[in-house]
A and B are shown apart, each in its own frame.
Chain A
Amino acid sequence: NAGVTQTPKFQVLKTGQSMTLQCAQDMNHNSMYWYRQDPGMGLRLIYYSASEGTTDKGEVPNGYNVSRLNKREFSLRLESAAPSQTSVYFCASIAGTLTDTQYFGPGTRLTVL
């Protein structure tokens, strides 16, 4: 039981390049989330998926797209990376409602030059 896994762990992009961050969970959770964490700021929600087949915007969705590929996998895509997207990205999952425990992945550290 690996919990929540993320790939890659580190990535460096040039401005304008695109990439997809992958997230998978093996806990049969319904809801999955993408956050970014920046120095001096709390975790901020980018997008979430309350169930397979649905996705919704969070607090900071601009510049990102997501795909809930199946119940296990939730990917985050940067179509044209910008330096402002330099951050640490975390994926999380919840079994049921928001009052349940969120389980986080190990994170992806992204640098955009």
Chain B
Amino acid sequence: RKEVEQDPGPFNVPEGATVAFNCTYSNSASQSFFWYRQDCRKEPKLLMSVYSSGNEDGRFTAQLNRASQYISLLIRDSKLSDSATYLCVVNNGNEKLTFGTGTRLTIIP
């Protein structure tokens, strides 16, 4: 089983719609969780950390379900600029971040 698993997509979503991605992780001892975004041929950029109680940052909401070992990202009122690959990232308490392969999102005008 992959350490971090994501649906690669692509998700093609009309502007203004709500879209959600899930990610599962295999190590139950994983300690911290993040969503990064990566534009085509660019570097990953931190979008948000994911906290146990769930957290929101503007149009973005992240949730963590430790029992089921999954993390979700919800994007409301999607914008054209949200088009990117969204990377689910897990840390097991050491210096290494484990990245998923990413979910590609395209927002359609």
- Do they bind each other? no
Please list the residues of chain A having a beta carbon within 8 angstroms of any beta carbon in chain B: none
Please list the residues of chain B having a beta carbon within 8 angstroms of any beta carbon in chain A: none
